[in-house]
Amino acid sequence: MNHTLRMNIHKVEGALIRLLGLIERRGFSVTSMNAHSDDARQEVEITVHLRSAGRSVETLARQIEKLYDVRSVACLTSGEQAIVMGESVAC
Amino acid sequence: MSMKGAELVVRALEQQGVEYIFGYPGGAIMPVYDALLNSPIKHILARHEQGASLAADAYARVTGRPAVCMATSGPGATNLVTGIANAFMDSVPMVVITGQVPTVVMGTDAFQEVDVFGITMPIVKHSFIIRRAEDIPKTIALAFQIAAEGRPGPVLVDLPKDISNAVPTAASIFEMRKSKRASPDPRQVQIARELIMNAERPVLYGGGGIPMAGAVDAFRAYARASGIPTVTTLKGIGSLPTRDETYLGMLGMHGNRAANRAIQESDLLICIGARFDDRATGRLDGFAPKAKVIHMDADPSEIGKLRHADAGLLGDLLESLAAMPTGLSIAPWQQWCAERKAEHAWRYDAPGEYIYVPDMLRRLTEAAPDVTIACDVGQHQMWVAQHCHFDRPEQHLTSAGLGTMGYGVPAGIGACLARPGARVVTVSGDGSIMMNIQELATIRRYGLDLKILLVDNSSLGMVRQWQQLFHGERYSEVDLSDNPDFVEVAKSFGIPGFRITRRDEVDGAIRRLLETEGPLLAHVCIDPKSNVWPLVPPGQSNDVMMEELSA
C-alpha cells in the first residue's frame, strides 16, 4: 500500500531523524520525500510518500503525532480498513 | 550570584523534589558531581551504569514518580542503554542525564565521545541535547513533565561539559504548559456501555497501564462492583488482589489455564491499560476469537494497533472506568469461570525430592503478604508471576517488555530506597544474578535490607526448556554447572548467605529471610531439569497449552 503523509515539525536538533527513524522502524519505507524549512516559524514541513506491506498508516500517524516535536500530521491518502496482524511471529 | 550550568542542573532537580540520583561519575559529568556536593540530593553509586539505570527504573515503579539516573559520556552513556530500553518498554518515567564532551569537539570522535542522543532515539520518549546553559532549567523541567505525562517513559538529557561549566548570562524564565488529561469520547463511552450491557461472557483484561495511571482503586472497584471475571498481564498483576474471588490469574504464554480459557470463550474483552503483547495473546488471530473489544488506554497509538477495538476509550482511566455499567446479568458465566478456576487451580504436590520452587514462592508470600518482590528474568520470573500473592501491583517488580536479565538485584535496591523499611526480596536465578552481581557492593555500601532468594538450577533454565521442547533436546550453551559458590561470593561482598537443597529446609529458609536484620542471600539449589508449566508454544494460539511432560 502507498500512502502520503504531510507533517509539520519543530525545527530543533534531532526532530527530522527522529521522525524518519520512527517511520522506518514501524515497518514503512520512504519512496520519496520533500522537506521545506521555514526559519521564521521555526518549523519544517515534510511530505513523505510511503510504502508498507500491510501495516496501518493510521496507527503510524498516531505514533508520529506522539513525538514531542511534531506539530501536526495529515494523512493525504484515503482511509483504510483496520488491519489486523494475521499471526504472531514473535519469537 | 550567578550559577554554573551544573549548579542549575542540580537546582532544577531539587525543584522537582528529587531525593535520589542513581549514577556513576566520570570525566564529562564531573561538573554536576561537583555541584552535587552542595545539594541535599543523595547520590547512590552503582557499580555499573546499567545497575544505576535499572535501580532508577524500579524506584520509579514503586514511587510512581520519575526517577533520575546519571552517567558520564561514552561508555557511561552506553552502559545506561539497557536500563533506558527497559524503562521504555515498560512505560516507566525516568530522567536520564548523560555527560557529553564539550560542544566544540562534538562530532570529532573526541575521547569518550559517543552519540548517545542518536543511539537512544528509538528507546526514549523524548531526548534533548542542551546547547546553552540558559536552557538548563527549562529543559530539566520539560524532561520531568514529558517523562510523567500521558503514557510515561524515559527522557534523556545530554549535557556537554562546556555547558555545565558555563555561567549563563541571563536567568531564564519559562512557563510550563499545563499537562492535559483528556476525557474519553462520550460516544465511545456509550458504545462501550452498550457492549458491556449486552455481553454474556465479558472478561476484564488488565495491564500495567492501571498502576501507571494511578487507577488501581478504580479498577478494583469496577471489577468488584461488576463481578466481571478478571485476568491480568504480567505487569498488571496485583491490580486486583490475587486472592480476589473473580481473579483468574495471568494470561498468556505461561498464564493460568483458567485465565486463558476464559479469554478464549469470552464474547467481550475489556482491555484496560494493556497492549495485546505477543506474550499475552499468543497467535493473534486465535486470541479471544469470539470477542468484541473495548480498549481503554492513555496512548492513542495503542488503540487498534494489533487488534481492532469496537470501542476505544482514550484518556483518563478513572473517568472511563467510572462510566462503565454494573448490575450485569452474567451469573452463568461467573459460575463457568469459577469452575474453571477451581479445575485449574495450581497444584503443589509435586513428586520427587527436589525443592519445588512454585511451592516455596507461594509460601514466601503467604508468610509475608506485604513483601515486595523484585524479579529477575527467566523461569523463576514466571514462577513468581504464577504463584506469589500480591495485594498491590507495586509489590511485583518485573522486567516485562524487555525481559532484562540482571534486573532483579538493582530493582531490589531501587525498591528498598523507594520505600524505606519495606520488606523487599529479590528473586533471581543463577544466570540472571551474574549479569549485575557487582551491585551486591551497592547493597553493602548503603546498608540496604535487601534479601536475595537465588534459585539455582545450574543452567539457563528458560533457554534450556525451549531447547528441550522446540530444538529436539539439542542443548547449546545453557550449562552453568561451573557457577561460582554464591554463598562465598555474597560473603566476599560482606553479605551473609546460606544454602538449602532439600524440601524440609524451605520453611526454615523463609523464616530466616523474613526474620534476619540486614541483607541476606539464600542459595536454593533445585532440579536442573525443572520446567515452567503450562506453556503456550511460540506462534500458537492460547488454546494450545502444553502441560508437564510425564517423566
Q: What is the 3-class SS of B123-186, one letter each residue?
A: HCCEEEECCCHHHHHHHHHHHHHHHHCCCCCEEEEEEEHHHHHCCCCCCCCCCCCCCCCCCCCH
Domain of A6, CATH number, reads 3.30.70.260
Give a yes or no: residue A83 inside a domain. Answer: no
Q: Pull the grid cell for residue B464.
A: 534450556
Q: Which of B121, B281, B300 sits opposite A17 (nearest CB)?
A: B121
Distance from C-alpha of B289 to C-alpha of B250, rounded to nearest angstrom: 19
- A88/B539 CB distance under 8 A: yes
- A25/B122 CB distance under 8 A: yes
Sign of CA dihedral B24, B30, B32, B33: positive
- Neighbour-count burial for B521-533, b at 16+ CB within 10 Å, e otherwise: bbbbbbbbebbbb
Give a yes or no: residue A90 inside a domain. Answer: no
Residue ranges and CATH numbers for the domains of chain B are 5-165 (3.40.50.970), 186-343 (3.40.50.1220), 357-525 (3.40.50.970)
pTM of structure: 0.96
Could you give the residue ranges of the DSSP H alpha helices within B28-115? 30-36, 49-63, 75-89
- Closest by CA position to B84, among listed B108, B119, B109: B119
Tell me what pLDDT residue B550 has: 42
- A87/B539 CB distance under 8 A: yes
Confidence band (pLDDT; 50, 70, 90) for A83? low
What are the pLDDT digits (tens) for A31-61? Answer: 999 999 999 999 999 999 999 888 899 999 9
Domain count, chain A: 1
- A87/B284 CB distance under 8 A: yes
B324 assigned to active site: no
Q: How far is CA B74 from CA B106, B139, B149, in A?
A: 12, 22, 29
Which residues, in sequence order, are CB contacts of A32 under 8 Å at separation 6+?
A48, A49
Give a yes or no: residue A82 inside a domain. Answer: no
Q: What is the extent of the structural domain holding A42? A: 2-75
Residue A54 contacts B where some CB pair is shorter than 8 Å:
no
- CA B213: distance to chain centroid? 15
Give a yes or no: residue A45 inside a domain. Answer: yes
Give a yes or no: residue A8 inside a domain. Answer: yes
Sheet containing strand B311-314, edge to edge, reads: B247-250, B230-232, B202-206, B268-272, B292-297, B311-314
At residue B405, φ and ψ (nearest 5 deg) are: -60, 140
Give a yes or no: residue A86 inside a domain. Answer: no
Q: What is the pLDDT along chain B (551 residues), one digit of tens a residue?
A: 589 999 999 999 999 999 999 999 999 999 999 999 999 999 999 999 999 999 999 999 999 999 999 999 999 999 999 999 999 999 999 999 999 999 999 999 999 999 999 999 999 999 999 999 999 999 999 999 999 999 999 999 999 999 999 999 876 778 787 777 789 999 999 999 999 999 999 999 999 999 999 999 999 999 999 999 999 999 999 999 999 999 999 999 999 999 999 999 999 999 999 999 999 999 999 999 999 999 999 999 999 999 999 999 998 899 999 999 999 999 999 999 999 999 999 999 988 899 999 999 999 999 999 999 999 999 999 999 999 999 999 999 999 999 999 999 999 999 999 999 999 999 999 999 999 999 999 999 999 999 999 999 999 999 999 999 999 999 999 999 999 999 999 999 999 999 999 999 999 999 999 999 999 999 999 999 999 999 999 999 999 999 875 43
Q: Which residue type sits at B54?
A: L
Residue B126 contacts A where some CB pair is shorter than 8 Å:
yes
Tell me what pLDDT residue B551 has: 37
At residue B518, φ and ψ (nearest 5 deg) are: 85, 175
Tell me what pLDDT residue A53 has: 83
**Residues of B whose CB is below 8 A from A80:** none
Mutate to test the interface with B, among A10, A59, A88, A91 (most CBs of B within 10 A): A88
Confidence band (pLDDT; 50, 70, 90) for A85? low
Q: Which residue type sits at B209?
A: G
